[in-house]
Structure 1
Amino acid sequence: MTQNILELKDVQKRFGKTEIIRGLNLEVRKGERLAVIGPNGAGKSTLFHLISGRLSVSAGEIWFDGDRINGRNAQQIYQRGLSRSFQITNLFSRQTVYENILSAAMWAQGYRYTFWKRISQLQPLHDRAQEVLELIGLAARRNVSVNLLTYAEQRALEIGMAVAGGGHTILLDEPTAGMSRGESDAAIELIKTVSTGKTLLIVEHDMGVVFGLADRVAVVVYGQVIACDTPENIRANAKVQEAYLGVKKDQKKGVVDGIA
């Protein structure tokens, strides 16, 4: 039986009287790539905030790698092996590519950007930073200031910073937003590379990216998962077509082929 690395059980999140996540249930299998899709305002980013410890749940349980993690802070969850692109919210634009990756590796080890430490003595962190640079294809740009990178390079760097800590589960929130088709295709290959042997949970609006990456797709509407299945079955799911795509059940299937 396939082991679940992440389980959300009747998770709820309220801001005052406003319900954002409403009894959401989701299981993520170890080693799979699962994409979360849904209309704007469905609660996808809030869901990621709950999983990564940036927000606390109002009710329900979140289990990660066998332990209940709701109530733990982002640093504690990160150190258990869950990396997220939003763990470090912004690139350090005045620093080099290498310094950004090194900072992320330091944060994962609990140094919290304490640059006064003698980081020259932390050789394993330097080795990890160089490994990540090669993985994301930016080794030749290591000494370039971040503000001189192209947009696609900056997004690649953000992905690199998310994986620099060596976590076995990666959360990426719309990593291809704002990219051209060619840039998105390159990003798909990069994400496949960095997630090899790991578990990937990704929020993404670009259906080309979703169907190019995902083993399964979870559809979130009004704070609940209404379907979670293979891309092919999600594409054919009438409930998904109506709730997510605004397509009525009696419309022809050709109308919804645009999600491929």
Structure 2
Amino acid sequence: MTHDAPVLQLRDIHRHFGATAIIRGVNLAVRAGERVALIGPNGAGKSTLFNLISGALAPSAGEIRLLGRPIQGMRPEKIHRLGLARSFQVSSLFEQLSVQENLRCALLWSQGYRYSFWHFLARQPRLNTAVAQWLERLGLQTQRHEAVRNLSYAQQRALELGVTLAGGASVILLDEPTAGMSRDETRHFVALIRQITEGKTLLVVEHDMDVVFGLADRIAVLVQGQIMACDSPAAVRDNPAVQQAYLGALPPLRDEPNGQENHA
């Protein structure tokens, strides 16, 4: 893979369910460290596309490359070990375990603990140091011994983000990360995403357009299984075809704190 090659690339991806075409010739390239938001009306195929990239589904045709390597048709766990992690709309945390136990589980592989049944994990200094660092980054130090089921919804989503990232993947898929949050929770969570994904490559499905325009370097618009536009937030906002697809519902770009408009 050359230095300028995309870390995630989709080439003419198709997916059919019987005679019904859901994904119809998607091409998308995401560069290292880039944040790309995938938006589109309900039924556009966003979840199907995420399932194809993460290995939950295999494409009917086309090629998906991760860090220069074809991954279409691979099992999800193998794709994860190659450097791609995904969060889900519905929590995949172990609700009966504590916050720190969930993080411990997420960190095992990246910390070198493979299928080892003889380590007492609570007594592994390197692993516990990594857990403590993640607790601090997520602002969950005081909840470290709390069972996940007792956390607030926003705290569970923060932990979910941490668990997704803790394995060390360089490419992250976030599926509606702010769904169900209040406006204040959303602002805090977007700031957290920015902070703890610094240097990572993100592909984000999100319905909240304020989040999309505040987070993304580029926006890819998926309509009826095809990408109709992929450009900077400013260009996508002003695209007449995108405005028609969203019935003019795209918000204006907001000024950044330094007074610079949020361009890619």
TM value normalised by structure 2: 0.88
In structure 2, the residue matched to 1:171 is 173
CA distance in 1, matches of 2:91, 2:119: 23
In structure 2, the residue matched to 1:14 is 16
Q: Give unpaired runs (5+ residues) of structure 1.
A: 248-254
Alignment partner for residue 134 of structure 1, among 124, 133, 136?
136
Q: 1:9 to 1:198 in 2, by over 3 A?
A: same
**Aligned counterparts, 1:1-260, within 5 A:** 2-86=4-88, 90-106=92-108, 118-120=120-122, 122-243=124-245, 245-247=246-248, 256-257=250-251
Q: Give unpaired runs (5+ residues) of structure 2.
A: 255-264
- 1:187-228 CA-partner distances (Å, limit 9, x unpaired): 110000111011111100001111111000000011111100
* Secondary structure at the counterpart of residue 176 of structure 1: coil
Q: 1:88 to 1:184 in 2, by over 3 A?
A: closer
Q: How far apart are residue 107 of structure 1 and its match?
A: 5.7
Kept after mapping to 2: 8 A contact 1:79/1:108: no
- 1:143-164 CA-partner distances (Å, limit 9, x unpaired): 1111111111011111011001
How many residue pairs match? The answer is: 252
CA distance in 1, matches of 2:55, 2:115: 19
CA distance in 2, matches of 1:109, 1:14: 39
Q: 1:238 to 1:91 in 2, by over 3 A?
A: same
* Secondary structure at the counterpart of residue 235 of structure 2: helix
Q: How far apart are residue 117 of structure 1 and its match?
A: 5.2
Q: Percent identity?
A: 52
Q: 1:70 to 1:122 in 2, by over 3 A?
A: farther
CA distance in 1, matches of 2:206, 2:114: 29
With 124-133 and 96-105 compared, the bigger mean Cα shift is at 124-133
Q: 1:85 to 1:235 in 2, by over 3 A?
A: same
With 112-121 and 8-17 compared, the bigger mean Cα shift is at 112-121
Which letter does structure 1 place at the counterpart of 2:96? R
Q: How far apart are residue 119 of structure 1 and its match?
A: 2.5
In structure 2, the residue matched to 1:252 is none
CA distance in 2, matches of 1:175, 1:53: 20
Q: How far apart are residue 3 of structure 1 and its match?
A: 3.1
Kept after mapping to 1: 8 A contact 2:91/2:160: no
With 204-213 and 134-143 compared, the bigger mean Cα shift is at 134-143
* Secondary structure at the counterpart of residue 185 of structure 1: helix
Q: How far apart are residue 114 of structure 1 and its match?
A: 7.7
* Secondary structure at the counterpart of residue 41 of structure 1: coil
Which letter does structure 2 place at the counterpart of 1:106? L
RMSD after superposition: 2.4
TM value normalised by structure 1: 0.89
* Secondary structure at the counterpart of residue 4 of structure 1: coil
CA distance in 2, matches of 1:168, 1:152: 24
CA distance in 2, matches of 1:174, 1:87: 6
